[in-house]
Structure 1
Amino acid sequence: MLYPLRDSFINPTMIARHKGEVPFLVYVLPSIAGIILSVAKGLGVSFLFAAIFCIVFLGFVMLNVFYAKLKVYKFNWLGGALLHLLFFLGGMLMVQLRDTRNAADYFGKRHSEHLVVMVNTEPTLKGKYWHFSADVKASKTQGKTATASGQLILTVLADTANLFKYGDELLIPANYKPVYAPYNPAAFNYKNYLANRHIYYQSFLFPGQYKIVRRNTGNPVIAYSLQLRQHFAKQFMANIKDTDAAAVATTLVLGYKATLSAEVQKVYSKTGTIHVLSVSGAHVAFVYVFINFVLGFLGVSARARWVKSMLSILLIWAYAMLTGFSPPVCRAAIMLSCIIIGRSGFRNVNQINLLAFSAFLLLVYDPLLITDIGFQLSYLAVFGLIVLQPVIFNWFSFENKWTRKFWYLISASLAAQVITFPLSAFYFHQFPLYFLLSNLLIIIPSELALFCGILVMLFGNIRFIGNLIYKGLEYTIIIMNKGLTLIEQQRFSTIDRIWFTGAECALLFIALMAFFYFAFNKCKAILLFSLNCLLLLCVSFTVKTISAENTNSITFLTISKHPAILFKHGHDGVTISDIKPADQLFTYNIKPAADSSGISDLAIHSLTDDYRNNWFLKEGHLIQSLNSTVLLFDKEIENFIPPKKINVSYLYVTSNPQTSVGFLATSYKFDLLIIDSTNSAATLKRLADEASHLKIKFVVLKRNKSLIVVSK
């Protein structure tokens, strides 16, 4: 985190000691619970559910109207219980009402020949393909046009003729398909990721399949903000010679990540400083400090305070516009706007209440924001800075001014890291051990880089001054990058392969919060509760470790156009595939499957390698793993006729050999026929039909979940 707000925004007096100080926090929590339940269960709109909400609401109103007559005062808990229930039901109802698939004109409900769509985000060009989402505006069938709604994700093969921009209106064929769930264990769930952004379909287009009907049909404010961001991003790239420094500058200042390399992202991720590369609340807070300093000449009179406040809010939202109105920046802008307005009237502003208020506003706008990882981590980090940082800061007292400031920075970093650790480990499966060192290292350079970035946008056109600021920005980021790279290269810089279940993540979070509550009020019962939670967590980890140690399995992975088999024996594993470890397919498919199953020592080999250890043997096309055998049947041996029938456990057909199931059944005896996704559609269908006719057990991996079998 960046910590520019210092003690003026974070102090122990802001910690609520009574729920009456934080009404929005009290009532946003049941709303969040309702949203999470509705999302998890996939509940649809129900008139019965809406009726229950109305009945509870009317009951609450009637109790207040006839409060004295019904002697409700004898049941003090009743009003609060009904109100909590209303917010809980309201959270569930918000999700159901916001589901775009419930609209009568949703494009997925009707048969169409063509769709008219508008690009609703900034298109990105990755390799040979354009990627962007689009709003469906109309559907066309047999020359008739009807209005339509919904979103879909588009992947378009790039050509030199077209450069896509936000607001482009396209005519495309209605050949969209559902977004598929992940096929392999622990792989990233792209289907859920898009569904949480109200996108359920995707389409792949080639040049000539689409037509750009109109340009600049989007929101003019968003269009201008994206153009402005691209303008400054091009200036940064043109004036900063070091490409990595230029990419970090555009990301840190503008939130423009298109030029950021995977290597730089890895360094920041491994050192626990990836938040710097996501324009978020900390960046907006620094911008506010900068604005507050610049507007200091306005004085302290009542009128000056209001003028200063309005200008500050206007400039904060101008910066939000510059970043393309990214959700983290909008969240921070809403919260800071509330704080500024509250302070303008010299009112005691409880920041936890304001944090909950901003979350409530955003969740009313889109309840599915609760599923966004950035939303969760940023709100938790700010909550930690408000609540936990004062507790940690008070653990030690220093008389020296600079030592006290240094301890302040350490306590802030600890608070943000501790409270986000359970979720970040749950999502990213790693923990940076040197996070304190790396965060302290980047505090000054990152704030200086952001300061230079703001100055260069203001004065970059003045040649001498602009060149000087660009140099300062470049060297600052180069120093920051080299320092983080040095930390990342140290031994044991990161603990990886952390795989929490949802219950374990919740248990760890509860244990941490209980411990800090004990540190705040010294209640021994709370400490005992925290230790018991940790004990349960240790028991869960122990059971998983023992289970992984005693489990042997073979996983036939589903990866488009690639064979891949993962053999597991306790904590050891062997992968047979043509995918290299540096390939993204390995990172997103094979590695998660291995790590999540408890494999800590993974040997990686190609299909042509021979390899043996104390439990695994591969010679040619035959693999022996404990008591299971696998035959890799490909084009090399499709014409080979063995002198006698070979017994194997699994016959794995790969690389599209021209064979028949009858030939395979004559030459080999096998328990299961496995047809992988490297085979053509015609081969898949032919082999599946033949196997069905001969009543031979078979599995087709293409567009199906991977097959996991227990190996004895």
Structure 2
Amino acid sequence: MFQKDYIPTWLTLFLAIGIVIEFYFSINSLFILAVGDALFVLLILSWFYDQKRLIPSKNYFLISMLIFILIGIISVKIKTKDHRIDPVSAHRERKIFFSIDKILKESTYYHRFEAIILQIDSKKAKERILVRFLKDSLERPLPEVDDVFYTSAVLKTIDPPLNPYQFNYKAYLKTKQIFYQLRLNPEEVLKLNYRRNTLKGISHRIRKKINSALKRYHFTEEELSVINALLLGQRQNIDKELFEDYKNAGAVHILAISGLHIGIILFLLNFLLKPIEFLKRGKLIKLLLIIFLLWSFAFLAGLSASVVRAVSMFTAIAIGLFSNRKLSLINALVLSMFFLLLFHPFYLFDAGFQLSYLAVFFIITLQPFLIKIWHPRSKIIYYFWQLFTVSISAQIGVLPLSLYYFHRFPGLFFVSGMVIIPFLGLILGLGILVIILALLNILPDFIAISYGYLIDLMNRFISFISHQEGFIFYDISFSFVLMLLFYISLFFGLKLMIKRSFRNIIYFLL
């Protein structure tokens, strides 16, 4: 029924279906238990039946499909079972101990954080909440990751959007299992002398040292904010106007560590560590070293969901490259998605997760066909042609989803991509060198000045592109059904291209 080579894809699809079912409908646990027992018995019976056949029966695949849908449902159940705050009593004043887990971008009136409740009244808890500290005129030290606080306050539900066309922040936080918030004045909170020691906290303190080292070399606030976004995964300090320029230029993905950054780092590591291949079992040693360095970078960037996703994805791709088979590359990508969803099912509803995997999938599958359209003799022209086809492949893959979520299309995205992406490897590589030398206090001034100028030049170019208003299309109506039809057409088109049937492609286009 299913081709063996595509089994990981089907299993991941069934897992995702189960996650969606449980997220929207919340299936009764007893029903899940009964169905699970029945499927287990059917699977055993089907296995004994198939021993007499050369190929598995359709029933075996059908049962497997239902089992993986059930696994998807159970994975969501497991992730939601720790929700320990009683909704009925949540709206009375509680004695709460909480720890800062993540620093968010501040709003006009509040400093915002994601936090974890450690204890509520006399009960231990592990509930994620949103915390808003009201800004005041006193320059108090801001809370940092792993700081622990005590307050007596009322937990409130997340506010819904004021109008139906506004971004639904409440629904977004639901996918992160955040249902409650605290709005606090600084006077209402007591900071304890105790501090937790989590990996995120250690990473935060390392980044703080890096920023202190960089400030000695007179980088501007704007340059520092971009360096933090590109290399340390922290973009909460980026100026609102600059961030909007990157959005309008179709280059906002550059400011968030994603598959693009990790892919470039993987390429750089693959090139720099190539001499190791000459050693005995050199390729395996190089692979293990690449995986270690990728995850070290993820740790430095704060182990945020987007960074963990990107590094997981490119760890799988590195393994696929090691096996040197295109199909292994696709299966490795799909398997990374499978295990991420298995342990973090709510990633499925994250726009960054969806966009990252679609972009990489279309680069792997579509770009090899586009590159064959033209083969210029000049190596320089061919290099830029490769970059153009990569950019176009990724944009085709994410376009329907981007229109559905953001209703905006930056027409000059390929211009910003063609100019910045060729130099992004230089910006990332030189940036890592700048950080290392700054920490050692041996960074030459001319390198610091040159790097600051490079960042400033990139920002100026992005600003120029973003102000070409005639090429930015706003308020594009793109429904979920239209998006689905668009992707169905794309996948059928890809399938025909893979089969290399010219006649079928013509029929498809007509």
Q: Which residue of 1 aligns with 2:147?
A: 168
**Deviation at 1:72?**
6.6
Paired with 1:300 and 1:336, the residues of 2 have a C-alpha distance of 23
Q: Which has the larger radius of gyration?
A: 1
Q: Does 1:43 align with 2:38?
A: no
RMSD of the TM alignment (CA)? 2.6
Q: Which residue of 2 aligns with 1:21?
A: 5
> Equivalent of 1:65, from 39, 44, 48?
48
Q: Does 1:196 align with 2:180?
A: no
Paired with 1:135 and 1:491, the residues of 2 have a C-alpha distance of 43
Structure 1 residues 294 and 398: alpha-carbon distance in aligned structure 2, compared to 1, 3 A threshold: closer
> Equivalent of 2:460, from 461, 473, 482?
482
Paired with 1:195 and 1:65, the residues of 2 have a C-alpha distance of 43
CA displacement 1:372-414 (0-9 Å, x = unmatched): 1110100111001101111211223334333322221111110
Report 1:393-408 matches (<5 A): 393-408=371-386
One-letter amino acid of the structure 1 residue matched with residue 58 of structure 2: W
> Equivalent of 1:292, from 266, 270, 276?
270
Q: In the alignment, is the contact (CA less than 8 A) between 1:240 and 1:474 conserved in 2?
A: no
**Deviation at 1:164?**
0.8
Percent same amino acid among aligned pairs? 26
Answer with 316-325 or 292-301: which moved more: 292-301
Paired with 1:263 and 1:395, the residues of 2 have a C-alpha distance of 39
Q: Which residue of 2 aligns with 1:228?
A: 206
RCO higher in structure (CA 8 A, sep ≥6)? 2
**Deviation at 1:491?**
4.4
CA displacement 1:418-450 (0-9 Å, x = unmatched): 110001111111111112111001113322211
> Equivalent of 1:94, from 62, 75, 86?
75
CA displacement 1:589-627 (0-9 Å, x = unmatched): xxxxxxxxxxxxxxxxxxxxxxxxxxxxxxxxxxxxxxx
Paired with 1:503 and 1:288, the residues of 2 have a C-alpha distance of 36
**Deviation at 1:26?**
2.1
Q: In the alignment, is the contact (CA less than 8 A) between 2:375 and 2:382 conserved in 1?
A: yes
Paired with 2:189 and 2:181, the residues of 1 have a C-alpha distance of 15
Q: In the alignment, is the contact (CA less than 8 A) between 1:117 and 1:171 conserved in 2?
A: yes
Structure 1 residues 525 and 96: alpha-carbon distance in aligned structure 2, compared to 1, 3 A threshold: farther
Q: In the alignment, is the contact (CA less than 8 A) between 1:249 and 1:449 conserved in 2?
A: no
> Equivalent of 2:126, from 149, 155, 164?
149
Give the secondary-structure state (helix, strand or coil) at the position aligned to 1:148: strand
Give the secondary-structure state (helix, strand or coil) at the position aligned to 1:498: coil
Q: In the alignment, is the contact (CA less than 8 A) between 1:114 and 1:174 conserved in 2?
A: yes
One-letter amino acid of the structure 1 residue matched with residue 390 of structure 2: A
**Deviation at 1:516?**
3.7
Paired with 2:443 and 2:216, the residues of 1 have a C-alpha distance of 16
Give the secondary-structure state (helix, strand or coil) at the position aligned to 2:159: coil
Report 1:66-81 matches (<5 A): 66-68=49-51, 76-81=57-62
Q: Which residue of 1 aligns with 2:287?
A: 309
> Equivalent of 2:120, from 139, 143, 146?
139
Paired with 2:176 and 2:337, the residues of 1 have a C-alpha distance of 17
Give the secondary-structure state (helix, strand or coil) at the position aligned to 2:195: coil
Paired with 1:115 and 1:240, the residues of 2 have a C-alpha distance of 41
Paired with 1:362 and 1:471, the residues of 2 have a C-alpha distance of 41
Higher strand share: 1
Q: TM-score, normalised by structure 2?
A: 0.91
Q: Which residue of 2 aligns with 1:686?
A: none
Q: In the alignment, is the contact (CA less than 8 A) between 1:119 and 1:166 conserved in 2?
A: yes
Structure 1 residues 139 and 327: alpha-carbon distance in aligned structure 2, compared to 1, 3 A threshold: closer
CA displacement 1:193-230 (0-9 Å, x = unmatched): 111000111121112222223432141x2211111123
Report 1:463-612 matches (<5 A): 465-520=443-498, 521-522=500-501, 528=507
Q: TM-score, normalised by structure 1?
A: 0.66
Which stretches in structure 1 are left out of the alignment for 5+ residues? 1-17, 532-712
Structure 1 residues 193 and 48: alpha-carbon distance in aligned structure 2, compared to 1, 3 A threshold: same
Give the secondary-structure state (helix, strand or coil) at the position aligned to 2:26: coil
Q: Which residue of 1 aligns with 2:409?
A: 431
CA displacement 1:639-665 (0-9 Å, x = unmatched): xxxxxxxxxxxxxxxxxxxxxxxxxxx
Structure 1 residues 342 and 382: alpha-carbon distance in aligned structure 2, compared to 1, 3 A threshold: closer
CA displacement 1:458-503 (0-9 Å, x = unmatched): 2225666432322222121222222222222224221111121111
Which stretches in structure 2 are left out of the alignment for 5+ residues? none
Q: In the alignment, is the contact (CA less than 8 A) between 1:441 and 1:480 conserved in 2?
A: no
Paired with 1:297 and 1:512, the residues of 2 have a C-alpha distance of 40
Structure 1 residues 336 and 491: alpha-carbon distance in aligned structure 2, compared to 1, 3 A threshold: closer
Q: In the alignment, is the contact (CA less than 8 A) between 2:213 and 2:441 conserved in 1?
A: no
CA displacement 1:665-691 (0-9 Å, x = unmatched): xxxxxxxxxxxxxxxxxxxxxxxxxxx
Answer with 422-431 or 200-209: which moved more: 200-209
Structure 1 residues 62 and 109: alpha-carbon distance in aligned structure 2, compared to 1, 3 A threshold: farther
Structure 1 residues 347 and 410: alpha-carbon distance in aligned structure 2, compared to 1, 3 A threshold: closer
One-letter amino acid of the structure 1 residue matched with residue 10 of structure 2: V
CA displacement 1:118-145 (0-9 Å, x = unmatched): 22223654454221122122221xxxx1
Paired with 2:441 and 2:56, the residues of 1 have a C-alpha distance of 73
CA displacement 1:178-204 (0-9 Å, x = unmatched): 113223021111111111000111121
Number of residue pairs aligned between Structure 1 and Structure 2:
504
